[in-house]
Amino acid sequence: MSATKTGNIPAPISSFVGRTREIAEVRALLGRVRLLTLSGAGGIGKSRLAIELSRQEEADYPAGAWVVELGGLADDAMLTNAVAVALGLREESSNWLPAALVRFLRPLRLLFGSGQL
């Protein structure tokens, strides 16, 4: 099994203006934790902030920065497949076992984000 690309952060459709304080805060948190959740009301720019930060930080992650769309998952069992698809992983089976995905991801340094973009 192998990844076919090194990131899938979408290209910006507009310039990113302001939010310097928020970028700095999230960057500082990202350096200290393994899991970081941006929360708040819909439409306030959480996804846009995460994408911009991912774009700025991507060079620090040799295996790339990745967005995994989780909003449409109706079943938790599809999580590993969603991650594998986002990474462009190919395997004979269409069902990724969590243990196989963990073995693949463990040695990598990558940045994941999820959301509805």
pLDDT in tens, 22-47: 999 999 998 898 888 888 898 888 88
Residue 5 lies in a domain: no
Which amino acid is residue 48, in one-letter code? Answer: R
Domain count within the chain = 1
Please state, in angstroms and rounded to a whole number, the distance separating the CA atoms of residues 69 and 82: 7
Beta strands in the chain (DSSP E): 65-68, 111-114
pLDDT band of 117, cuts 50, 70, 90: very low
Q: What is the pLDDT of residue 3?
A: 55
How distant, in Å, are the alpha carbons of 38, 48, 80, 93 from that of 100? Answer: 28, 31, 9, 11
Domain of residue 96, residue span: 20-114
SS3 111: strand
Question: 67-111: per-residue pLDDT in tens?
Answer: 888 888 888 888 888 888 888 887 656 666 788 888 888 999 888
Single pTM value for the model? 0.75
Residue 47 lies in a domain: yes
Please state, in angstroms and rounded to a whole number, the distance separating the CA atoms of residues 113 and 1: 22
